[in-house]
Amino acid sequence: MAANATLQIPLPPSLIALLGTHPQATATTREYIILGLFQEDRISGGKAAELLGLTRLGFIALLARKGIAYFRLTPDEWDQEVAIVRAWDANRA
């Protein structure tokens, strides 16, 4: 496993003040970066959870608290998923 790298990002003091203490700012910034990568589909939910040290359910709970959708399907994709589940359920009966 590769060692962690450090990224220095200059930020104005007013923004840093909003992030809290140095440890809080570091943790919050890291979380936002990982969540941003997830939202851009650059990493999976599983990878994001791993990077944040969360279980998959913990990650889904974090997304819910942040108002970020875990399932990002178009209405047509949702309709297809519902049809698959209904067909599966009908075959079980």
Give the pLDDT confidence of 15-74 residue by residue, as tens digits. 888 998 889 988 999 999 999 999 999 999 999 999 999 999 999 999 999 999 888 888
Give the pLDDT of residue 67.
94
**Cα 8 to Cα 81: distance, rounded to the nearest angstrom:** 43
Write down how long the chain is. 93
> Looking at the predicted structure, is the pLDDT value of residue 1 above 60?
no
> Looking at the predicted structure, is the pLDDT value of residue 2 above 80?
no
**In the chain, alpha helices (H):** 13-19, 22-39, 45-52, 56-66, 75-92
**Cα 29 to Cα 53: distance, rounded to the nearest angstrom:** 15
> Looking at the predicted structure, is the pLDDT value of residue 82 above 70?
yes
**Cα 8 to Cα 28: distance, rounded to the nearest angstrom:** 15
Domain residue ranges in the chain: 13-92
CB-count exposure of residue 68 (10 Å: 0-12, 13-18, 19+): middle
CB 59 within 8 Å of CB 52: yes
